Amino acid sequence: MKLFIAFLLSLTFCGSSFAQEKEAELLGPDNWPTTVSATVADLLSTLSAADREAIRSAKKDDLIRYHHGWGTGIRNHYGLWRGNQALIEDACHEPCHPDTASNRIIEAVWQALQDEG
């Protein structure tokens, strides 16, 4: 049980570290990616080996744990709350809530890591 709790805490802290690294420098509208694939490529280029492994080893149903740490960083950094409608619509294939779009981006990063093997 203690090991399981330690694992959950490490996932929480990993999610927070993702957000803190990216929130320091918010992109302006001229630099916003407009596709999920471009956003995933940017995110993958910034993840440490440990963060990549934490995401890769997570179950898809558990990705919601990243909503408040890493997801907040994604929403802020990539302008999902500041008008990046093109990225939102690419993530959801229609207008949707920024929270939903960031969850789809997290799932796309997870899938890219699964595909890497």
Q: Is residue 10 part of a domain?
A: no
pTM for the predicted model, two decimal places: 0.80
| Domains identified in the chain, total number | 1
Q: What is the tens place of the pLDDT at every residue in 83-117?
A: 999 999 999 999 999 999 999 999 999 999 999 97
CA torsion 84→88→90→92, rounded to 10°? -170
Answer whether 66's CB lies under 8 Å from 15's CB. yes
Q: Is residue 2 part of a domain?
A: no
Domain of 48, in residue numbers: 29-116
CA–CA separation, 39 and 47 (whole Å): 13
**pLDDT given for residue 7 in this prediction:** 45
2 or 74, greater pLDDT: 74
CA–CA separation, 96 and 7 (whole Å): 32
Q: Is residue 13 part of a domain?
A: no
Q: Is residue 23 part of a domain?
A: no
